[in-house]
Amino acid sequence: MTNADIIRAHYDASDRGDLDGMLAPLAADVRWTEAAGFPYAGTYVGPAAVSANVFARIQEDWDDYTLAIDEVIDGGDTVVGIGTYSGTNSRTGRFFAARVAHVWRLEDGEVVAFEQFTDTEMVQRAVRD
């Protein structure tokens, strides 16, 4: 399995709502960075921190939140996923759609770092009162 296949499997797990499958490729000390301006901005270390501070909060805050990946670029130890986030904020009822790029860094078949790039203004418009 290539590193790109590992990331595709993560995205497939996301599509199924399979949290364990999403977390499976993450190294014990993974550094996961959500973009400044994104509601969950920051760097989280370890799968449990990613689960609690990103995935659980998305489930709490959004209805029909989706990530549609259009392309996975195989750069060997660096893999890039490009797609679109969308969802409706459960508090405001506002919908958003924003393009996104994920940069994944892998060592020995494990994700050691993740960084998100997205149009945070589109997301903020959905969450602002």
* Domains contained in the chain, CATH given: 3-127 (3.10.450.50)
Q: What pLDDT, in 10s, does the model give residues 87-129?
A: 999 999 999 999 999 999 999 999 999 999 999 999 999 999 8
pLDDT of residue 91: 96
Q: What pLDDT, in 10s, does the model give residues 33-48?
A: 999 999 999 999 999 9
Label residue 12 by pLDDT band (50, 70, 90).
very high
pLDDT of residue 85: 97
Q: What sign has the CA pseudo-torsion 35, 122, 91, 13?
A: negative
**What letter represents residue 61's amino acid?**
D
Provide φ and ψ at 24, rounded to 5°: -50, -40
Nearest-5° Cα angle at 19, 117 to 96: 40
Q: Stretch 74-86: mean pLDDT, rounded?
A: 98
Residue 33 to residue 83: CA distance in whole angstroms = 17
pLDDT of residue 129: 81
Residue 50 to residue 42: CA distance in whole angstroms = 10
Residue 54 to residue 4: CA distance in whole angstroms = 22
Q: Stretch 9-36: mean pLDDT, rounded?
A: 97
Select from 53, 70, 66 the least CA-distant residue to 95.
66
- Please give the mean pLDDT across all residues of the chain: 97
